[in-house]
Amino acid sequence: MKKLLLTLVAGTLLASTAQAHNFEDAKDAIQYRQSGFSLIAYNFGDMGAMMKGKKPFDAETFAMRAKNVAALSHIPFEGFIDGSDKGDTEALAKVWQDKADFDAKMKTFQENAAILATVAQKGDQAEIKQAFMDTGKSCKGCHDVYKKD
């Protein structure tokens, strides 16, 4: 099942890499990616509150949030343009030094977010919990290495 899902989403992953960006400068790119991450954090945070029992689990809202995160997971990547390690950013220079690994970690996040959106639609609690944890791990896995704390 997981393999099938991955095959289905693989074609759309990192689609933004192939496009030329339209940012004026590094500041623009930084703002763009930070905006994307803010929207992800808002939506992921609400799912987290439900998972931790801080608020009641609402299947419809959760599925909407998961769908949002899956779509949003494709947004920040485009903002990591060359030279945008300098400025008002928490991204470490290591992002550009180890770009292939950074890209792979971003792709893993996108894959996990896509799986979460799919299982959230189906509504199986155990699957949702697992997929939520996998997605959270891929957020943290990248932050641990590439984000200032």
Q: Give the bridge partners for 91, in sequence order.
A: 147
Contact stretch for ligand ASC (CB under 6 A) within 63-71, 88-96, 119-127, 137-145: 137-145
Q: What is the DSSP letter of 18?
A: G
Convert residues 97-136 into a mask of x (bound to ligand ASC by CB under 6 A) and - (unbound). Answer: ---------------------------------------x
CB 136, min distance to ligand ASC, A: 4
CB 44, min distance to ligand ASC, A: 4
Q: Report whether 103 contacts 80 (CB < 8 A).
A: no
CB 19, min distance to ligand ASC, A: 26
Q: Which is nearer to ligand ASC, 23 or 31 (CB)?
A: 31
Q: Which residues contact 59 (CB under 8 A, 6 or more apart)?
A: 120, 123
Q: Which is nearer to ligand ASC, 32 or 37 (CB)?
A: 37
